[in-house]
A and B are shown apart, each in its own frame.
Chain A
Amino acid sequence: MDALPRAAPRRRPSAGTLGLGALLVLAYGIVPLTGTSYVFEALLTPFLALALAGLGLNLLTGYAGLLSLGSAAFMAVGAYAAFNLSLRLPGLTLPVSLLLAGFVAALAGLVAGLPALRLRGFYLAVSTLALQFFVAWALNRIGWISNDSPSGVVTAPRLVVAGLSFDDPRGRYLVTLTVVTLLTFVAWRLVTSPTGRNLVAIRDNETAARLVGVRVARTKLLAFAASSFVIGIAGALWAFAYLRTVEPAGFNLDRSFQILFIVIIGGLGTLRGAFLGAGFIVVLPLLLSRLGAALLGDGFDSGTLEMVQRVVLGALIVAVLIREPAGLAALLDRAGRRLGRRAA
C-alpha cells in the first residue's frame, strides 16, 4: 500500500509545481486581501497549525510506519517551550524561539522514541500514551513551566517579527502560513532524501532494510526527532497564533487522536495528505454545524445538532476509510487520473 507520490509518472511534477505555485499565490496574494477575520481566526490559522502537526506525525507514522498516540504531548512541549523561551530570554526573536522550541520537542521525541527500538505496532502506540499522560501531569505539577501562574493557564506573547507586529488576524495567519510553508518544504526535502527512503524501507520491511545496510535504530530515532520537531512547532503556532493562551487541557488525548485522524484520512505517506486531512477534520465539522443551523434555524437545540454532527462525522470517517483506505490523497490522485484520461 505504497501511496508515495514517487509512484506517479515523471511528467506530473510540472503540473504539481504549477498547482503548488497557484496555491501559494492564492494563500499569500488573494486570501489575505479578501478574507474576513473569521476566516483567518477560526478557519485558516487552526487549519494550518493542525495540518502542520499532521505533517509531522506523517513523517513518523506514514513514512517510517511507527504509530504514535502522543502527538498532543509534543505539541504541548513545543508550546510551553516557546512560551518559556520567549519569557526567559526576552532577546530571542520569534523565529528563533520557535526553532528552539522545535528542538526541545525533538528532544522529547528522542526520549519517546526509545521504546520504538524494542516495540512496534499497538504496543508502541500505547507506550506513547505514557508520554501523553506524563506530559499532562508534569505541566500541571511543575510550576515554573507555566511561570507559576496560579491557574496554570498562560497567555501567549505577542507575535512580533523584526520589529513588525503581526498581532492581528491577518498577521497571525501570515506568520502561520510562512512557518508551515517553510517546514513543508523541509519535510519534502527530507522524504525525498536518502534518509527518507530509509524511513520507507523500515516501514515496508525492517529486516530487509537492515540487510541492505540501513541503520534501523538511528533512523527510527531520527524519525521520532524530526516528527516531534515539526509537531512541536505546530503546537507553538496553535498556542501563539491561534488560541493565544496555553493550557494543558488543550493538549489532551483527543487532540492526539485528531492528528492521527488527519494523517489517516488524508493519506499516510503523502505530504498533501496532512493538508487534505486537516481540511476534512477542521473545516467539515464547522460546515456541518453551520449547515445544520442554516437548515434548522438558530433556535434549534444546539446539543441535538451537535450529536447529529458527531454521528455524521464518525460515519463519514468510516465511509472514507472504506471507500479509500489510502486516504483522501489517493482519492484525489484517482480523480485526477480519471480526469486526465478523459481529457486525453
Chain B
Amino acid sequence: MSPDLALLIEVVVGGLLSGVMYALVAIGFVLIYKTSGVLNFAQGAMVLLAALTFVSLTERGLPVPAALAATLAAMVVVGLAVERAVLRPLVNQPPITLFMATLGVAYVIEGAAQLAWGTQVHGLDLGIDDTPIDLGGVLVSRFDLFAAAVAGLMAALLSAFFRYTRTGLAFRAVADDPLAALNTGLRLPRIWSAVWIAAGIVALVAGLLWGARLGVQFSLSLVVLKALPVLVLGGFDSVAGAIVAGLIVGATEKLSEVYLGPVIGGGIEGWIAYVAALGFLLVRPSGLFGLRAVERV
C-alpha cells in the first residue's frame, strides 16, 4: 500500500472511531430531548460527575464492581433529583427556559462534584492496552476499537429497548405526541424519570470511556462541544441519527484537519464540524433522518 493511501485510510478510520465517541455523548442528549424536548446541557457535567465519582471511589480502595455499582446508583439519584426538582416544576415552559435551567444544573453538578471529590487530575485505566494494531501499515487503536464496540452495543440495546419493550414503546409515543400519549393513560412523569436514569447511565459509560482517553478532570465536561454538531446533523431526537452523524462528523473533522488544514491553517477542527453540519442542514433541512417533519424551517 502506498503511504499516501495508508494515511488516508488511517485518517478515515481514526475519524470514524472518534465519531463513535462523539455519538456516545450525543445519545445522552437525544434520550432526554426525545421524550421531554429539553436540550440537557448538564449532560457534560453528568459525564464529569460519573467519571470523577468512579475514579475517586476506586482510588479510595473500593473494588471496581462495587465502585461501578455505587457510581451507577449515584447517577440514578442525580438523574431523578434533576428531573424531580428542576424539570417537573418547569414543565410547559418554553424550551429556552428549560435549556437555561439545565445550565444552572450543570453549575450545581460541577460544583458539587468537585466539592465532594476535589479538583485533582486523575488517571483512569480501564485495563485496555492501547498499543496500536498494525493492519498492513495502517495503525488502529485497540482502545478506540473497544470504545466503538461499547458504544455500538449501547446504541443497539437502546434501539432494541425502544422497539421491543412496553416502556420503550411508551417513550416513542411520548416523543411522537405527548398529548395523545397522555390520553392513552401513559404516566408521563414515570417515563421522564426513566429517561433521566437512562441518561445517567449513558453519562456513566461516556464518562468512563472519555475519562480513560483524557484523564478525569474538569475538561471532561467540555466533550459536549463535540456532541453538538453531531446532534444538529443527526437530529436531536434520533439515536440512530446520532450514531451515523457521529461517524460523518468524526471523519469530516479528521479529513479536513489533515488535508484542508495545511491549506487554510491548522486547528480548524474546532469549528469545521459545525460548519459542515450547518451546510448540510441548509441543503437538506429535514436532516439525515428526515422521517418526520422536523421544525427547522
Residue of A nearest to B110 (CB): A310
CB distance from A134 to the nearest CB of B (A): 4
Contact of B271 (CB < 8 Å), options: A121, A134, A314: A134
Task: Please determine whether B111 and A307 come into contact, CB atoms closer than 8 angstroms.
Answer: yes
Cβ of A123 within 8 Å of any chain B Cβ, yes or no, is yes
Task: Please determine whether A118 and B297 come into contact, CB atoms closer than 8 angstroms.
Answer: yes
Cβ of A107 within 8 Å of any chain B Cβ, yes or no, is no
Bound-state Cα–Cα, A56 to B226, Å: 28
CB distance from A71 to the nearest CB of B (A): 14
Cβ of A335 within 8 Å of any chain B Cβ, yes or no, is no
CB distance from A138 to the nearest CB of B (A): 9
Contact of A253 (CB < 8 Å), options: B39, B106, B225: B225
Q: Which of A83-91, A153-161, A234-242, A257-265 faces chain B?
A: A257-265
Task: Please determine whether A264 and B112 come into contact, CB atoms closer than 8 angstroms.
Answer: no
Known: A133-B270, A321-B90. A314 touches B278 (CB 8 A): no
Known: A121-B295, A261-B103. A314 touches B281 (CB 8 A): no
Task: Please determine whether A123 and B281 come into contact, CB atoms closer than 8 angstroms.
Answer: yes
A21-32 interface bits toward B, Cβ cutoff 8 Å, 1 = contact, 0 = none = 000000000000
Interface residues of B in 95-122 (CB under 8 A from A): 95-97, 99-101, 103-112, 114-115, 119
Which residues of A sit under 8 angstroms from B268, Cβ to Cβ? 137
Known: A311-B108, A318-B86, A325-B97. A304 touches B271 (CB 8 A): no
B269-297 interface bits toward A, Cβ cutoff 8 Å, 1 = contact, 0 = none = 01100110110011001000000000111
A295-308 interface bits toward B, Cβ cutoff 8 Å, 1 = contact, 0 = none = 00000000110011
CB distance from A286 to the nearest CB of B (A): 16
Task: Please determine whether B86 and A126 come into contact, CB atoms closer than 8 angstroms.
Answer: no
What are 24 pairs between A and B in contact, CB < 8 Å? A61-B96, A115-B278, A119-B285, A120-B297, A121-B295, A122-B99, A123-B236, A123-B281, A126-B274, A127-B232, A129-B274, A130-B275, A134-B271, A264-B96, A265-B100, A268-B96, A303-B119, A308-B115, A309-B111, A317-B100, A317-B104, A318-B104, A321-B93, A325-B93
Cβ of A215 within 8 Å of any chain B Cβ, yes or no, is no
Which residues of A sit under 8 angstroms from B236, Cβ to Cβ? 122-123
Bound-state Cα–Cα, A136 to B272, Å: 12
Task: Please determine whether A264 and B100 come into contact, CB atoms closer than 8 angstroms.
Answer: yes
Bound-state Cα–Cα, A317 to B112, Å: 16
Task: Please determine whether B101 and A317 come into contact, CB atoms closer than 8 angstroms.
Answer: yes
Which residues of B sit under 8 angstroms from A303, Cβ to Cβ? 119
Bound-state Cα–Cα, A134 to B277, Å: 14
Task: Please determine whether B281 and A315 come into contact, CB atoms closer than 8 angstroms.
Answer: no
Which residues of B sit under 8 angstroms from A127, Cβ to Cβ? 232, 274, 277-278, 281
Bound-state Cα–Cα, A310 to B115, Å: 10
Task: Please determine whether A322 and B111 come into contact, CB atoms closer than 8 angstroms.
Answer: no
Cβ of B76 within 8 Å of any chain A Cβ, yes or no, is no
Cβ of A141 within 8 Å of any chain B Cβ, yes or no, is yes
CB within 8 Å of A: which residues of B?
A: 39, 85-86, 89-90, 93-97, 99-101, 103-112, 114-115, 119, 225, 228-229, 231-232, 236, 265, 267-268, 270-271, 274-275, 277-278, 281-282, 285, 295-297
Task: Please determine whether B107 and A321 come into contact, CB atoms closer than 8 angstroms.
Answer: no
Bound-state Cα–Cα, A311 to B85, Å: 15
Which residues of B sit under 8 angstroms from A212, Cβ to Cβ? none
Which residues of B sit under 8 angstroms from A313, Cβ to Cβ? 104, 107
Task: Please determine whether A318 and B267 come into contact, CB atoms closer than 8 angstroms.
Answer: no
Task: Please determine whether B107 and A134 come into contact, CB atoms closer than 8 angstroms.
Answer: no
CB distance from A9 to the nearest CB of B (A): 26
Query: Which 3 pairs of residues, A with B, have the shortest CB-CB distance?
Result: A314-B107, A310-B111, A130-B274
Task: Please determine whether A311 and B115 come into contact, CB atoms closer than 8 angstroms.
Answer: yes
Contact of B95 (CB < 8 Å), options: A122, A133, A315: A122
Q: Give the residue among A67, A303, A318 with the most B Cβ atoms within 10 A.
A: A318
Task: Please determine whether B296 and A119 come into contact, CB atoms closer than 8 angstroms.
Answer: yes
Bound-state Cα–Cα, A56 to B295, Å: 26
Which residues of A sit under 8 angstroms from B275, Cβ to Cβ? 130, 134
CB distance from B269 to the nearest CB of A (A): 9
Known: A61-B96, A253-B225. A308 touches B282 (CB 8 A): no
Bound-state Cα–Cα, A122 to B112, Å: 28
Which residues of A sit under 8 angstroms from B105, Cβ to Cβ? 314, 318
Bound-state Cα–Cα, A309 to B111, Å: 8
Task: Please determine whether A123 and B232 come into contact, CB atoms closer than 8 angstroms.
Answer: yes
Task: Please determine whether A260 and B100 come into contact, CB atoms closer than 8 angstroms.
Answer: yes
Bound-state Cα–Cα, A150 to B56, Å: 41
CB distance from A200 to the nearest CB of B (A): 15
Contact of B295 (CB < 8 Å), options: A120, A260, A321: A120
Q: Give the residue among A1, A127, A264, A309 with the most B Cβ atoms within 10 A.
A: A127
Known: A303-B119, A322-B90. A126 touches B108 (CB 8 A): no
Which residues of A sit under 8 angstroms from B95, Cβ to Cβ? 121-122
Contact of B97 (CB < 8 Å), options: A134, A137, A264, A310: A264
Bound-state Cα–Cα, A14 to B265, Å: 58
Contact of A137 (CB < 8 Å), options: B115, B270, B281, B297: B270
CB distance from B17 to the nearest CB of A (A): 23
Q: Give the residue among A130, A253, A261, A308 with the most B Cβ atoms within 10 A.
A: A130
Which residues of A sit under 8 angstroms from B90, Cβ to Cβ? 321-322, 325
Bound-state Cα–Cα, A115 to B285, Å: 11
